[in-house]
Chains A and B, each alone.
Chain A
Amino acid sequence: MTVTTGGALPDQLYDVAVVGAGVVGSAIARELARYPLRIALVEAGEDVGDGTSKANTAILHTGFDAVPGSLESRLVREGRRRLAAYAQQNGVPLEPVGALLVAWDDGQLAALPALAAKAVRNGHHGTRLLDAAELARREPHLGPGALGALEVPDEWIICPWTTTIAYATQAVRAGVTLHLNCRVQSVTSGGHHELSTSRGLLRTRYLVNAAGLHADELDHHLGHEDFTVTPRRGQLIVYDKLARPLVRHILLPVPTALGKGVLVAPTVYGNVILGPTAEDLDDKQATGSTAEGLETLRDKGRRIVPALVDEEVTAVYAGLRAATGHEDYRIRAHARQRYVTVGGIRSTGLTASMAIAAYVTGLLGDAGLHLGLARDLEPVNMPCIGEAGPRPYQRADLIAADPAYGTIVCHCERVTRGEIRDAMSSTLPPASLDALRRRTRAGAGRCQGFHCGAVVRALFEEGRG
């Protein structure tokens, strides 16, 4: 098992290098790890899933409103099926809450039957129209003026952090080398690809570009001008767990040209999120929130679930979606270059990740990579950080075997000393408190460190040795 975080890269020729350890790159590395290949997963950041993949709406989509016949439609549908099964086998938190597409005016109400028909064309037959009375029964805290809804029962919620970490953990355990803090600066392609990185030269026969927001730049290094990534910022507000009883489903707006609009949804951690905004920007680092963005969200949230905005805010975050101006994913194989670009993976990327991985693996095979015989990977038993639980603090058996699971350190999120210790000695140990939070939820709660910040930091530093 190899994870490197600094120093010069080892002098080795890889069969495949995957650039970008977001949810898509990690899924691709994991899929390739099933074959007898030398694989490198190369990440500029200090952790996997530390870019766009960590800041999304955490929904396992159906793709009911994708463009029928598109690559995205196909990969989201297949990816949903694969990831739902994967989550159950590997302990990735998942809750089958279902979605309601709520109509707030006559125009939106009139659009619902067409959306139901579109869902059928995308292979989803389970949708159902609800009238205002049934909607009110199903979501009693909805604001006044909701006229009806389209129910999409297979839209679920999932933990995006655990998903990426599970993929990368499984990949590393199966022999993939993960190079963190390793930014690709340029590429020279001859007999094989030579990647000039912040940690020295990396040589590979095949190259996969899963660089997310930076996929267009890497593509340019290979001589392609297929697309330009325009970051689209999405700000989200996370409400207190005490707001969770206010919302039973993912509450979706009727989609507009700018995206899926502002939604209200439960999270697997037991919070409620409100968002995202959709702001087209030039700056690929602009992950800050703004007063205007938060005010817009609160105004919209007040209409959807009025009682929600009276609850305390636990966190605010902003993510950048890799919009390309194209309606579909930009996945291209350049066989002669032994190179595959995975671009324009939008908000559905989490859902589609495993299908994208299988598709990209196929493209690599078509481009001449000899894959060899596939094997099944050992499941990874991810720590249970979802409220569908039981969480370690609720388990008498675990505590009896090890009292560290009975010592709660982060009180808001009920994270125990045992879980923090486990994370610090895991296959992918956290390099920062943020990374520890994504593995355990420590510090993610309503007090944001008032009670636990000092002791969590002390345990983190102790665990780093």
Chain B
Amino acid sequence: MSRTERTVDVLVVGAGPAGLAAAARLAAAGAGRVEVLEREQQPGGIPRHSHHRGFGPRHQPLDGPRFAGRLVDAAVAAGCVLRTGVTATGWAGPRTLDTTGPQGLERITARAVVLATGARERPRSARLIPGTRPAGVLTTGELLQTVRLHGGRVGGRAVVVGSEPVALHAVRTLRRAGAQVVALVTEAPCAPVQSPRHRVPVITDTAVAELTGRGRLAGVRLRDRDGGSTHLDCDTVVLTGDWIPDHELARLGGTALDPGTRGPAVDTAFRTSLPGVFAVGNLLHGGEPGAIAAAEGRSAATHVLRRLAGARPWRHGQVPLAVERPLLWIAPNRVHPDGPPPMEERFTLRTAERIARPVLLVSQDGRELDRQHLPRTALPGRAVHLRAGWIARADPEGGPVRVGVMSDSRQPGAGAARILTV
């Protein structure tokens, strides 16, 4: 195998919002040669085919392609080397990656590596949905690319599964492609927030129990929480949300994974368990908005620069964070009392259940570290935030810091969930 061997200062893997933002900040700050590898032919990550106006800062909403375009322009203007169509296939050393591209095979060694490989939606198989294996079963990612990048056709009658905001992007894209959206099906007790013009029949508390049809999808069999079963005729089903980090490269390199996020475990400086290897964006936690991923990239750049400048990291022996049901995950998920605060001085969490008047409880070895009343109802598929003021109180030699949630029932109106069914 003849490989071209090279060295760079920072190698960023993935040119989505997180990777591009990290690279731009690093190059602008004089980090030296900052190279970004993107395995797709176009940079930008998922926003490049997400045409809704959910990107950019709140006061200045952008559609996905514009948002991605600005990040690409900024990275290139800052002096990054952006290489598309190049895949990092594995590791040849602690900060050395092997790559494949049309120019051949390379072995690139960096002083710091930033993993920004993103996330994907779980497909039908990973969700263990039984039935036949017909055509017409896809994720939002495939739907958006088929319609937006390739002008491809989808079916005539579609069912959308999921309750995260991405489910509504799927509804919109299907309609734009000329399909009728028969229903939005979710196991959650409530539907995603909808504006009136996206009205679509919503079936809550219901799972897809089986796919039917030979060759092409004929329909889905649904089962509600009480065991009732119905069959919906459709030729297309779009499975949305249920994100899983694309953690293959991180795992091949030997980074420790967080059991909640299934992404690499990182501390408040975006450091993985491997020295000099950082991780940012939705690789850390699945489907957060592009603007958040970009902010993480910028935030991580500060810590990468510190490493390049030779700063000794604070003492190791970090304390893991663990969440208790119905919380699903927390990121970042390693802390040290001497470490920096996380981005925006808060942690991000997800819950599996709706919790009115939520109270987050932080404890370590039975000792309460903090108790935070949240201003808003915690909803599945939406970020919940934990402020980071308690970090300094954690015992670096102690056990895991546990984060739980309960509903503050002393206040009136708790638990009055309105279930939206159309």
Chain A interfacial positions (CB closer than 8 Å to B): 238, 241-242, 285, 287-291, 293-294, 312-317, 390, 393-396, 399-400, 403-404, 406-408, 411-412, 414, 433, 446-451, 453-455, 457-458
**Which residues on the A side are within 8 Å of B130 (C-beta)?**
288-291, 293-294, 316
Shortest Cβ distance from residue A115 to the other chain B in the assembled complex, whole angstroms: 34
**Which residues on the B side are within 8 Å of A412 (C-beta)?**
248
Q: How far is the CA of A394 from the CA of B150 in the complex (A)?
A: 28
Determine if B138 and A313 form an interchain contact, defined as CB atoms under 8 angstroms apart: no
Q: Interface centre among B3, B121, B150, by most A CB within 10 Å?
A: B150
Shortest Cβ distance from residue A433 to the other chain B in the assembled complex, whole angstroms: 7
Given A289-B131, A453-B142, A454-B149, decide whether A414 and B89 contact each other with a Cβ distance below 8 A: yes
**Which residues on the B side are within 8 Å of A404 (C-beta)?**
102
Choose from B2, B133, B209 the contact partner of A317 (Cβ within 8 Å).
Answer: B133
Determine if A453 and B146 form an interchain contact, defined as CB atoms under 8 angstroms apart: yes
**Which residues on the A side are within 8 Å of B209 (C-beta)?**
291
Determine if B100 and A394 form an interchain contact, defined as CB atoms under 8 angstroms apart: yes
- When C-beta atoms are compared, the residue in chain B nearest to A400 turns out to be B104
**Which residues on the B side are within 8 Å of A458 (C-beta)?**
150, 152
Shortest Cβ distance from residue A315 to the other chain B in the assembled complex, whole angstroms: 5
Q: Please name 20 pairs of A and B residues whose Cβ atoms are closer than 8 Å in the assembled complex, sorted by A.
A: A312-B126, A312-B244, A314-B125, A316-B128, A396-B2, A399-B102, A406-B101, A407-B85, A446-B126, A446-B248, A448-B125, A449-B123, A449-B139, A449-B142, A450-B139, A450-B141, A451-B120, A454-B149, A454-B152, A455-B150
Q: How far is the CA of A11 from the CA of B131 in the complex (A)?
A: 41
Shortest Cβ distance from residue A413 to the other chain B in the assembled complex, whole angstroms: 11
| CB of B1 closer than 8 Å to a CB of A | yes
Q: How far is the CA of A408 from the CA of B101 in the complex (A)?
A: 8
| CB of B210 closer than 8 Å to a CB of A | yes
| CB of B109 closer than 8 Å to a CB of A | no
- When C-beta atoms are compared, the residue in chain A nearest to B1 turns out to be A396
Q: How far is the CA of A396 from the CA of B5 in the complex (A)?
A: 13
Given A313-B125, A313-B126, A406-B100, decide whether A454 and B145 contact each other with a Cβ distance below 8 A: yes
Q: How far is the CA of A404 from the CA of B149 in the complex (A)?
A: 21
**Which residues on the A side are within 8 Å of B376 (C-beta)?**
none
Determine if A447 and B150 form an interchain contact, defined as CB atoms under 8 angstroms apart: no
Shortest Cβ distance from residue B198 to the other chain A in the assembled complex, whole angstroms: 23
**Which residues on the A side are within 8 Å of B373 (C-beta)?**
none
Q: How far is the CA of A408 from the CA of B40 in the complex (A)?
A: 8
Given A288-B210, A394-B1, A450-B141, decide whether A315 and B125 contact each other with a Cβ distance below 8 A: yes
- When C-beta atoms are compared, the residue in chain B nearest to A316 turns out to be B125
- When C-beta atoms are compared, the residue in chain B nearest to A235 turns out to be B130
Determine if B251 and A242 form an interchain contact, defined as CB atoms under 8 angstroms apart: yes
Contact with A along B129-153 (1 / 0, CB 8 A): 0111101001101100110011010
Determine if B105 and A396 form an interchain contact, defined as CB atoms under 8 angstroms apart: yes
**Which residues on the B side are within 8 Å of A403 (C-beta)?**
102-103
How many interface residues does B have (CB within 8 Å)?
A: 45
Q: Interface centre among B135, B142, B211, by most A CB within 10 Å?
A: B142
- When C-beta atoms are compared, the residue in chain B nearest to A295 turns out to be B128
CB contacts under 8 Å to A, within B64-123, are 85, 87, 89, 100-105, 120-123
| CB of B214 closer than 8 Å to a CB of A | yes
Determine if A406 and B142 form an interchain contact, defined as CB atoms under 8 angstroms apart: no
Q: How far is the CA of A390 from the CA of B2 in the complex (A)?
A: 13
Q: How far is the CA of A294 from the CA of B126 in the complex (A)?
A: 12
Q: How far is the CA of A406 from the CA of B251 in the complex (A)?
A: 23
Determine if B105 and A394 form an interchain contact, defined as CB atoms under 8 angstroms apart: yes
Given A396-B3, A433-B135, A450-B141, decide whether A406 and B150 contact each other with a Cβ distance below 8 A: no
Determine if A396 and B104 form an interchain contact, defined as CB atoms under 8 angstroms apart: yes
Determine if B121 and A450 form an interchain contact, defined as CB atoms under 8 angstroms apart: yes
| CB of B285 closer than 8 Å to a CB of A | no
Determine if A411 and B39 form an interchain contact, defined as CB atoms under 8 angstroms apart: yes
CB contacts under 8 Å to A, within B2-50, are 2-3, 39-40
Chain B interfacial positions (CB closer than 8 Å to A): 1-3, 39-40, 85, 87, 89, 100-105, 120-126, 128, 130-133, 135, 138-139, 141-142, 145-146, 149-150, 152, 209-212, 214, 244, 246, 248, 251
Shortest Cβ distance from residue A191 to the other chain B in the assembled complex, whole angstroms: 39
Shortest Cβ distance from residue B264 to the other chain A in the assembled complex, whole angstroms: 13
Q: A293-B130, A314-B125, A448-B124 are in contact. List 14 more A-B contacts (CB 8 A).
A: A287-B133, A288-B133, A288-B212, A394-B1, A394-B89, A399-B104, A446-B123, A447-B141, A448-B125, A449-B139, A450-B141, A451-B141, A454-B150, A455-B149
Determine if B131 and A288 form an interchain contact, defined as CB atoms under 8 angstroms apart: yes
Shortest Cβ distance from residue B140 to the other chain A in the assembled complex, whole angstroms: 8
Shortest Cβ distance from residue B131 to the other chain A in the assembled complex, whole angstroms: 5
Shortest Cβ distance from residue B50 to the other chain A in the assembled complex, whole angstroms: 13
Q: Interface centre among B3, B100, B103, B121, by most A CB within 10 Å?
A: B100
**Which residues on the B side are within 8 Å of A396 (C-beta)?**
1-3, 104-105
Q: How far is the CA of A451 from the CA of B105 in the complex (A)?
A: 22
Q: How far is the CA of A414 from the CA of B105 in the complex (A)?
A: 14
**Which residues on the B side are within 8 Å of A453 (C-beta)?**
138, 141-142, 145-146
Choose from A242, A313, A395, A450 the contact partner of B248 (Cβ within 8 Å).
Answer: A242
Shortest Cβ distance from residue B84 to the other chain A in the assembled complex, whole angstroms: 10
Shortest Cβ distance from residue B43 to the other chain A in the assembled complex, whole angstroms: 14
Shortest Cβ distance from residue A288 to the other chain B in the assembled complex, whole angstroms: 4
Determine if A406 and B3 form an interchain contact, defined as CB atoms under 8 angstroms apart: no
Determine if B126 and A455 form an interchain contact, defined as CB atoms under 8 angstroms apart: no
**Which residues on the B side are within 8 Å of A390 (C-beta)?**
1
- When C-beta atoms are compared, the residue in chain B nearest to A432 turns out to be B135
**Which residues on the B side are within 8 Å of A316 (C-beta)?**
125, 128, 130
Shortest Cβ distance from residue A117 to the other chain B in the assembled complex, whole angstroms: 41
Determine if A313 and B128 form an interchain contact, defined as CB atoms under 8 angstroms apart: yes
Q: How far is the CA of A114 from the CA of B132 in the complex (A)?
A: 40
**Which residues on the A side are within 8 Å of B145 (C-beta)?**
453-455
Q: How far is the CA of A274 from the CA of B104 in the complex (A)?
A: 37
**Which residues on the A side are within 8 Å of B139 (C-beta)?**
447-450
Given A394-B105, A448-B139, decide whether A285 and B214 contact each other with a Cβ distance below 8 A: yes
**Which residues on the A side are within 8 Å of B150 (C-beta)?**
454-455, 457-458
**Which residues on the A side are within 8 Å of B105 (C-beta)?**
394, 396, 399, 406
Determine if B103 and A406 form an interchain contact, defined as CB atoms under 8 angstroms apart: yes
Closest 3 CB pairs of A and B: A448-B123, A403-B102, A454-B145
Q: How far is the CA of A390 from the CA of B39 in the complex (A)?
A: 20
Choose from A312, A446, A457 the contact partner of B146 (Cβ within 8 Å).
Answer: A457
Q: How far is the CA of A450 from the CA of B140 in the complex (A)?
A: 7
**Which residues on the A side are within 8 Å of B248 (C-beta)?**
241-242, 412, 446
Choose from A287, A288, A290, A399 the contact partner of B100 (Cβ within 8 Å).
Answer: A399
Determine if A447 and B146 form an interchain contact, defined as CB atoms under 8 angstroms apart: no
Q: How far is the CA of A112 from the CA of B125 in the complex (A)?
A: 36
Shortest Cβ distance from residue B101 to the other chain A in the assembled complex, whole angstroms: 5
Shortest Cβ distance from residue A269 to the other chain B in the assembled complex, whole angstroms: 14
Q: How far is the CA of A236 from the CA of B212 in the complex (A)?
A: 18
**Which residues on the B side are within 8 Å of A313 (C-beta)?**
125-126, 128
Shortest Cβ distance from residue B394 to the other chain A in the assembled complex, whole angstroms: 28
**Which residues on the B side are within 8 Å of A446 (C-beta)?**
120, 123, 126, 248
- When C-beta atoms are compared, the residue in chain A nearest to B148 turns out to be A454
Choose from A288, A315, A448 the contact partner of B132 (Cβ within 8 Å).
Answer: A288
Determine if A314 and B89 form an interchain contact, defined as CB atoms under 8 angstroms apart: no
**Which residues on the B side are within 8 Å of A312 (C-beta)?**
122, 126, 244
Q: How far is the CA of A453 from the CA of B142 in the complex (A)?
A: 6
Choose from B87, B100, B142, B149 the contact partner of A450 (Cβ within 8 Å).
Answer: B142
